[in-house]
């Protein structure tokens, strides 16, 4: 709801997702348009835009429709938090992709009872990545303190708050050389491949456009950005339940059983434990693990001990992008 009771226009944010030649998997969220301008400068504009990113007005339980470029359509519905998921088995989706493996679709509201103004003539673009059969390997990368300085290892996480709220996406600092390293991995040993890159994070979906802009502004290869829902109040996660990031990585591996992967994360939080467990479950699919070193002695000692006698998968604790590039060349991942 806008100021003075005026109703905001409606929009749909289609999250980049991934699928196969016979599996269409797309998701996104139906929301009121809060008119967030990620390029705005100024202290109060940054605070106001940050507030609007998290104070969303979702369009619940409403019908939406997907249209593919060959005319096929799918019908679905948003849930009580405004999210939609299309998880359908269709044939010959690979024929609809471009050279990089992206399938374009349109999604629209399909509910005549809405009686609301809808942005973009009710036509919102979405993309699903369908990796080429000629892909040499895939890359699954964390975002926080792996390619983007966030400060997740700082005391009380104060740097995370400051960086997210008080810095524009275009002004956030990528780790030195990270974009070059990822571009080399994307092009692979041949220098002409379109190896898929998947970006995973523990951040909520509210930050999707913010992170998407950061990746674009800093010339990272385009890839699905996979985040998580905010937990509901009082809905505590059981100790046996896997983190959403881990579930997403496992889903990617099972979606592409014939594709090998490189896992990239940092040594600050839980990436080391998650990646080690995944590599032990899928030893034939995980070709290497790269873990960015962090400025925290105790955490680095813990990670070093974790992999001290580990032999399942090559693991490199990365001090610089140059070191990672050299290792990737030696192991035949890049040109």
pLDDT in tens, 268-287: 778 899 999 999 999 999 99
Locus of tokens 């993309």 = 127
**pLDDT, tens digit, for every residue of 99-127?**
999 999 999 999 988 988 999 999 999 99
pLDDT at 293: 83
CA distances from 60 to 63, 64, 73, 220 (A): 9, 11, 21, 34
Beta strands 73-77 and 63-68 are antiparallel
Q: Are 265 and 278 in contact (CB under 8 A)?
A: no
Question: Six-digit token pair at 213?
Answer: 């802009």
pLDDT at 220: 96
Q: Are 201 and 244 in contact (CB under 8 A)?
A: no
Residue percentage of the chain with pLDDT more than 70 = 80
pTM for the whole structure: 0.85
Q: Are 299 and 154 in contact (CB under 8 A)?
A: no
Pure H helices in 96-234: 158-166, 178-187, 208-217
Beta strands 63-68 and 102-109 are antiparallel
Predicted confidence band of residue 210 (pLDDT cuts 50, 70, 90): confident
Please indicate whether residue 134 or residue 130 has the higher confidence score (pLDDT): 130
Locus of tokens 């275009």 = 170
What angle (nearest 5°) sits at the alpha carbon of residue 88, between those of residues 85 and 90? 145
Nearest to 14 by CA among 225, 250, 232, 249: 225
Within 8 A by CB and 6+ apart from 46, the residues are 40, 165, 166, 167, 168
> Is pLDDT above 90 for 28?
yes
Predicted confidence band of residue 56 (pLDDT cuts 50, 70, 90): low
Predicted confidence band of residue 300 (pLDDT cuts 50, 70, 90): confident
Nearest to 214 by CA among 260, 263, 163: 163
Please indicate whether residue 327 or residue 57 has the higher confidence score (pLDDT): 327
d(CA 331, CA 310): 18
> Is pLDDT above 50 for 163?
no
d(CA 184, CA 192): 10
What's the CA dihedral at 224, 226, 229, 231 to 10 degrees? 180
Q: Are 24 and 128 in contact (CB under 8 A)?
A: yes
Region 129-146: mean pLDDT is 93
**pLDDT, tens digit, for every residue of 71-93?**
999 999 999 999 999 999 999 99
d(CA 170, CA 163): 12
Q: What is the mean pLDDT of the chain?
A: 84
């Amino acid at each position: 709801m806008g100021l003075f009771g005026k109703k905001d226009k409606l929009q749909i944010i289609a999250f980049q997702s991934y699928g196969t030649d016979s599996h269409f998997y797309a998701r996104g969220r139906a929301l009121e348009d809060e008119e967030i301008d990620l390029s705005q400068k100024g202290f109060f504009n940054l605070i106001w835009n940050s507030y609007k990113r998290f104070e969303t007005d979702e369009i619940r339980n409403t019908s939406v429709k997907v249209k593919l470029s060959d005319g096929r359509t799918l019908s679905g519905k948003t849930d009580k938090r405004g999210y939609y998921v299309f998880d359908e088995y269709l044939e010959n989706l690979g024929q609809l992709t471009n050279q990089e493996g992206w399938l374009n679709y349109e999604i629209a509201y399909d509910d005549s009872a809405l009686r609301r103004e809808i942005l973009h003539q009710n036509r919102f673009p979405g993309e699903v990545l369908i990796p080429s059969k000629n892909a040499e390997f895939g890359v699954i990368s964390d975002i926080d303190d792996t390619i983007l300085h966030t400060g997740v290892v700082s005391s009380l996480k104060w740097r995370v708050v400051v960086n997210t709220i008080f810095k524009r996406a275009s002004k956030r600092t990528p780790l030195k050389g990270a974009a070059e390293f990822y571009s080399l991995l994307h092009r692979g040993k041949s220098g002409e491949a379109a190896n898929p890159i998947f970006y995973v994070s523990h951040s909520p979906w509210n930050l999707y456009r913010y992170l998407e802009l950061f990746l674009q502004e800093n010339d990272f290869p385009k890839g699905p950005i996979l985040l998580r829902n905010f937990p509901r109040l009082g809905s505590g996660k059981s100790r046996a339940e896997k983190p959403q990031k881990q579930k997403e990585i496992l889903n990617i591996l099972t979606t592409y059983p014939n594709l090998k992967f490189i896992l990239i994360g940092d040594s600050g939080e839980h990436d080391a434990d998650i990646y080690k467990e995944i590599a032990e479950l899928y030893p034939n699919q995980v070709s290497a693990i790269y873990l960015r070193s962090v400025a925290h002695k105790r955490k680095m000692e813990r990670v070093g001990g974790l992999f001290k006698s580990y032999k399942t998968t090559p693991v490199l604790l990365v001090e610089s992008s140059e070191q990672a590039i050299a290792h990737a060349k030696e192991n035949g991942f890049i040109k």
